[in-house]
Every structure is written in structure tokens, then in C-alpha cells.
Amino acid sequence: MPPILLRSPIPLLLIAVLTACVLRPLTAAEQPVGEQPIRVICAGDSITQRGYPEVLQMLLGAGYAVHNAGHSGTTALKHAGTRSYPDADPRRDDADIVVIMLGTNDAKVESWSAHRDEFAADYGAVIASFKGLRSHPKVWVSLSPPVFKAEGGGGFSAKNVEEMVGMTRTLAAALGCPIIDVHAAAMGQADKFGDGVHPNDAGKLLIATTVKAAITAPAPVGK
């Protein structure tokens, strides 16, 4: 009998799911009594909302509980005319780890030139709101992926995003927050961002893999 040939390659995300099923961690029922999963909040705009946290959950397994706290169209900027990132999600109060990725909407053409000088203070306030939670979570700042669109397309600006990422890196260092460099991981990966901004399935896997590597890495000696 001739071998059966697949008509198309298995999507990367499916490979990740299959791998997670085969090399899975303990299920919640199999975990020792009294152990609670590590609670992860993924805060951000539509790049977060569209699904990388769900992939992150599959990669991390049952020892973690990942909550998608992405809100489409939101910004760190608080000036009139923007949709500032909300701080009313009750699940954030019990977070052990917070991953924040904002800035792509802030860097849009219509607001960046007029309000870029407000960005660091406003983003700093968002970060502070998470650092001040009663659970005292470890707060990671994720650098947004590049924009792979013609300049100004849809209001997005690749040039402004590069400037915003630099400012975010400086801000995170000043606040003592570790960085997750999704920006560097996604550089040159336009095929993983179907509309030039938002990740497709391969892009979600790329972001989730980058986040997982950061938050599960052993802490440096002495930290």
C-alpha cells in the first residue's frame, strides 16, 4: 500500500498542542493536595487579547493558571481620545506573575507626536498599579512586536513603535521590572503577523514561547 501523503504541513500550533499532550505536566487532579497553580495575568491590547495567553497556558500546563487580560484598542496613555487600559479586573488581585505588553496603540500616528512625552509616566502608572496588588506579583514588561505594515497603514507606525519600545525598555529598567523581549524575537518574522500587527497562530506560539522561557527561567543566583 503506498504511503499516505499529507496535503499540507502540520501547523506549528498543532505541533505545540500535540507535544504538550504527550509531554504534559500533572493535571490539577494529580497535583498534591494543597498545591495551587501559579497565577499568571497577561495584560495588554489586542495583540494579547487575540490569544497568545491561551497558547501560553498549553505550554505551561496545569501548574499554572493563565488569565487573558488583553483589551482591544487600549493604551497606556490616558489622554482624551484614547482607551486607557482598565484596572477593574478582580482576577488580577491574586496574580503571582503579571506580563504587561502595551504601546502599539499608543504609538499610532494620531497620538504619538502629540503625547509621546506623556507615555513613560502613564505606562509607569499602569505598571505601578500591578506592582501594588495585594498579592505582590512579579511584574514583567514585554516589549511589543514590530509593526510589519506600510507606514501609517491603519494608523500604525513602525517607526513610532521602535521609539516606543526603546522608551519602554528604559522605563522597565528604571522601575526594576524584568523585560521579555518579544520585539527581538519577532524581528524579521512578518509571516507570523497576518495583518502586519496581530499574530496569527504561528505568531501566538512565538510570543507564548518567548514569554514562557522568560517567566520559567531560573532566577539568577543571589536574586
- In SS3 terms, the chain reads as CCCCCCCCCCCHHHHHHHHHHHCCCCCHHHCCCCCCCEEEEEEECHHHHCCHHHHHHHHHCCCEEEEEEECCCEECCCCCCCEECCCCCHHHHHCCEEEEECCCCCCCHHHHHHHHHHHHHHHHHHHHHHHCCCCCCEEEEECCCCCCCCCCHHHCCHHHHHHHHHHHHHHHHHHCCCEECHHHHHCCCHHHCCCCCCCCHHHHHHHHHHHHHHHCCCCCCCC
User: What average pLDDT does the structure give for the chain?
Assistant: 87
| Strongest mean pLDDT among 12-21, 72-81, 109-118, 160-169 | 160-169
pTM confidence score: 0.83
Q: Give, in words, the CATH class of 36-215.
A: alpha beta
